[in-house]
Chain A
Amino acid sequence: MTEPTIIGLLISALFTENFVLVKFLGCCPFLGVSKKIDTAIGMGMAVTFVMAIASMFTYLANEFLLIPLNLEYLQTILFILIIAALVQFVEMVIKKTMPALYSSLGIYLPLITTNCAVLGVALLNVQNSYNLLFSILYGTFAALGFTLAIVLFAGIREQINEKDVPESFHGFPIALITAGLMAIAFMGFSGFSI
């Protein structure tokens, strides 16, 4: 595998390997908090924040704890531990220091603990053997890809709300169809190799 460039990483994380629509990671918040564009943006920002930090800490834990001790098979369990603790910690810090940000992110922060996209990015970093810088960048870019997908999706759902949808498709059914069509659209990017 050739050494990736930052631009290449950005484009692949945003489009060709979009976390939600191509890799199918983080589907729960994608469907759960995409009713309004505002909340979708809030969720996207919170995920970006957590994924960048989580990428850094999981990289450090892997590099300086697991590899020297030959315990790579503990990655999943240790990463979950780190992410959960990190999200809790970040939540407390934000609550104390930035109440305005806390009330706008609100419930989304604790929800991210169970977002598999965060664990996914941590494991992918290891799999692709990225260095510290690239791990953090990949975490950030992947989360931006998540944000892009969820904001677009929320926009479409807001529009659909105004439209005359057959009664049996109201709510989740039409949302799932929308998500499927969006995923197909994003498959179109997969022809580009970067």
Chain B
Amino acid sequence: MNDILSAILVVGIVGLAFGVLLAVAAVIFKVEVDERIEKIEEVLPGANCGACGFAGCSAYAAAVVEDGAPVNACGVGGSNVAQQIGGIMGMAVAAGKVMVARVHCQGTCENAKDKYEYYGVETCEAAIKLAGGQKACNTGCLGFGSCVSACKFDAISVVDGVAVVDEEKCTACGACVKACPKAIIELLPKDNKTFVKCASHKTGKEVNAVCKAGCIACKICEKNCEFEAISVIDNLAVVDYDKCTACGVCVEKCPKKVIG
């Protein structure tokens, strides 16, 4: 009985002594942390997505205060967060453009042809290893949702064989852009709805052979645009967002309804 008691006492007392010692030491050796770091951390979304280039939200907050990292690096928080961080740091912030991820493909199961039936691991990375994936168009969305699993905000889903972005939820962190092995997702300005839903550089004939909804490089958009903001480069319509006014003429005129 005494053995048990002394064992309990020894471990208990030693533990207690260390506890007290550490508590006292914590007070004595307290290091003042710049309170702006904590404030910035509170403002940040806390998703720790790493899109800013730092290890996480707290690492970014520390970098802003200590190393003068840009206050508008958080794409997820957008201009709102940038303003708040700027306020904490006492800096004026130029409002950045709000971006959103968009998928350059509308080759749904109905629109696009498959060149073979794929049975295998259900990821885009796996499918692409087999002759570039099952879609006959080699820039088509494979629809296995590598972007879906990369998205931390539940903003992207595969509908009818093609990835679709929920623009309300999208924070433009860029995770899907990196995840897509076909590289057909791009961050584009959110306020300008004009974008080309195709990424194929094949000629019109070749595109028509594999997909009902691809850009056939007919140049109707280019001819109708008053602002020279859309042009067909290498068989694919490309929007110049510095010039585009989102007037919607190209959207209307496109015979394939590829621009939306």
List residues of A (68-84) whose CB comes within 8 Å of B's CBs.
69-71, 74, 77-78, 81-82
CB distance from A111 to the nearest CB of B (A): 16
A71-B7, A95-B31 in contact; A78/B14 too (CB < 8 A)?
Answer: yes
Q: Which of B15-23, B84-92, B105-113 contacts A (4 or more CB under 8 A)?
A: B15-23
Our pick among A70, A81, A89, A92 for the contact of B15 (Cβ within 8 Å) is A81
Q: Which B residue sits closest to A96, measured CB to CB?
A: B29
Tell me the count of chain B residues lying within 8 A, CB to CB, of chain A.
16
A81 touches B29 (CB 8 A): no
B6 with A71: CB separation less than 8 A: yes
Q: Is the CB of A81 within 8 A of B25?
A: no
Scan A23-56; emit 1 where CB is below 8 A from any B CB, else 0. Answer: 0000000000000000000000000000000000
Residues from chain A with Cβ under 8 Å of B26 in the complex: 92
Alpha-carbon distance A81/B14, docked complex (angstroms):
8
Give every chain A residue within 8 A of B6 (Cβ-Cβ). Answer: 69, 71
Determine if A89 and B21 form an interchain contact, defined as CB atoms under 8 angstroms apart: yes
Residues of B within 8 A of A97 (CB): 29
Contact of B10 among A71, A88, A89, A99 (CB under 8 A): A71
Q: Check: B168 CB closer than 8 A to any chain A CB.
A: no
- Which chain A positions have C-beta within 8 A of B28? 96
Q: Is A65 an interface residue (CB 8 A)?
A: yes
Is A81 within 8 A of B11, CB to CB? yes
Q: Chain B contacts of A99 at CB under 8 A?
A: 31
Residues of B97-131 contacting chain A, CB below 8 A: none
Within 8 A of A (CB), among B17-73: 18, 21-22, 25-26, 28-31
Does chain B have a CB within 8 A of A181? Answer: no
Main SS of the interface on chain A? helix
A125 to B18, CA, bound (A): 22
Q: Tell me the complex Cα distance, A74–B9, Å.
A: 12
The contact of A65 among B3, B10, B29, by CB within 8 Å, is B10
A74 touches B21 (CB 8 A): no
For B230-259 the 0/1 string (1 means CB < 8 A from A) is 000000000000000000000000000000
Q: Once bound together, how far apart are the Cα atoms of A65 and B224, in whole Å?
A: 91
Contacts known (A95-B29, A96-B29); A85 close to B22, Cβ less than 8 A: yes
Whether B10 lies near A74 (C-beta < 8 A) is yes
Bound Cα distance from A181 to B226, whole angstroms: 70
A66 interface residue per 8 A CB criterion: yes
The residue on B at minimum CB distance from A97 is: B29
Bound form: Cα–Cα A153–B5 in Å: 47
Contact across chains for A88 and B22 when beta carbons are under 8 A apart:
yes
Q: Once the chains bind, are B25 and A93 in contact (CB under 8 Å)?
A: yes
B30: A residues at CB distance < 8 A: 96
Cα distance A54–B152 when bound, in Å? Answer: 43
A-B contact pairs, 10 of them (CB 8 A): A74-B10, A78-B11, A85-B18, A89-B21, A89-B22, A92-B25, A92-B29, A95-B29, A96-B28, A96-B31
